[in-house]
Structure formats: C-alpha cells, structure tokens
C-alpha cells in the first residue's frame, strides 16, 4: 500500500501475518507519497541551484506551495506537515506525464522501493506458493505510472506473484488485521 506512507502485509501460506515497511516518515515509507514529495523538493532545489538536472518540478512545486522564490519554498517546507509534503507527489505525476526526465526517474525509484517491499514479503512464503498481491493507496491507482512500473518489475523478477485487480479498502484491511491480532 502506498499513499502518504508505505507498508506491505501478507498472509503466508502457513497462516502467519508478516509485513515490510510501515516504519514512518523518519526512517521508512520508501515509495510513499511523502518520500516522492520529499524527493521532488530535493530535485527542484538542486535544479534551481544548478546542482542537478533541469526539471519542470521547480516551477510546479513553487506554484503548488505558493512560493515565489527558493527562499519562500524553504520557508514553506519548514512549516509543512507530512501530508502537505506527500501532496507534492501529484506534481511528480503531472511532470512525468509531460515526460520530465527527473520526474520519470523519481517514479522509477518509488516503484523500485515498493518492489523491494513485495520482494521481501515473497521470501516469507514457501518456494511453491503463488502469492497474490493487491495494490492499494493513492499512488497505486489503475492509471498510476508508479503502479505500471511496479507491475512491470514484479512481472520480470517475481513471476510467481500474481497482481490482483481487486479493489482494496485500506480501512477494512486495518480492521481485518486488528481482528486477526485479537484472535492470536
């Protein structure tokens, strides 16, 4: 699941519930909206200072944060909460749709991070198991380039994993996990 944060859960073939991620924004959440927004801020700043490749992210983030200068953006970041930074992931998706090379690289990095969550979970299954993976969260919707890149990686490297098109309600998943923990 990838939205503001990122986490992956699985029910293994021997009945265990295992997870990867969910470590929070300070030392985890790779592939999340927060991580993508934070990476976009860094790329925008480096581009503005000519320490990184050109990208349209500086202009789009400046607009999204109502910043007229890099100093304004620095002030915005100093007071922005996690959700506000995660909301900047939309700017990356828009820039990627416009074929911005930096945005496309950030999307690829996010997909790789989420792939690593899935890869780590598959190691908890027996070798002959065929786990099914349901993708959920605001960054993994049907038309998401992150979802597309993740599915390509999964198909290439984890052929025994089937990606489900089932809609997953994160709140219902949390209730289900809580109920399972109470039964344990």
Smallest Cα–Cα separation from 34: which of 73, 7, 62, 67?
7
pLDDT digits (tens, 9 = 90+) for 18-50: 888 888 878 878 889 999 999 999 999 999 999
Q: How far apart are CA 96 and CA 110, in angstroms?
A: 13
| Average pLDDT, integer, range 164-178 | 66
Are the beta carbons of 10 and 17 closer than 8 angstroms? yes
Kindly tell me the sign of the dihedral angle through the C-alpha atoms of 56, 58, 59, 62.
Answer: positive
Q: How many residues does the chain have?
A: 184
Structure pTM?
A: 0.84
Are the beta carbons of 30 and 6 closer than 8 angstroms? yes
How far does CA 68 lie from the centroid of its chain? Answer: 28
Are the beta carbons of 52 and 43 closer than 8 angstroms? yes
pLDDT at 90: 95
Give percent of the chain above pLDDT 90.
50
Helix pair 70-79, 57-64: axis angle to 10 deg: 60
Q: What are residue 20's DSSP bridge partners?
A: 8
Question: Residue 5 — very low, low, confident or very high, per pLDDT cuts 50/70/90?
Answer: confident
Sequence-ordered strand ranges (E) for the chain: 7-11, 17-21, 132-134, 162-164
């Amino acid at each position: 699941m990838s939205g503001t944060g990122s986490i992956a859960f699985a029910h293994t073939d021997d009945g265990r519930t295992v997870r990867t991620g969910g470590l929070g924004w300070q030392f985890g959440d790779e592939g999340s909206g927060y991580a993508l927004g934070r990476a976009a801020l860094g790329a925008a700043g480096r581009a503005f200072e000519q320490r990184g490749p050109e990208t349209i992210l500086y202009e789009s983030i400046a607009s999204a944060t109502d910043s007229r200068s890099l100093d304004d953006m620095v002030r915005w970041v100093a007071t922005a909460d996690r959700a506000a930074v995660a909301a900047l992931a939309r700017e990356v998706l828009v820039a990627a749709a416009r074929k911005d090379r930096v945005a496309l690289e950030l999307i690829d990095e996010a997909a790789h991070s989420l792939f690593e969550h899935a890869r780590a979970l598959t190691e908890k299954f027996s070798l002959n198991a065929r786990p099914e993976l349901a993708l959920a969260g605001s960054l993994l919707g049907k038309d998401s380039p992150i979802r597309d890149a993740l599915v390509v990686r999964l198909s290439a490297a984890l052929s025994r994993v089937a990606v489900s098109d089932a809609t997953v309600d994160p709140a219902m998943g949390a209730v289900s996990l809580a109920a399972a923990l109470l039964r344990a």
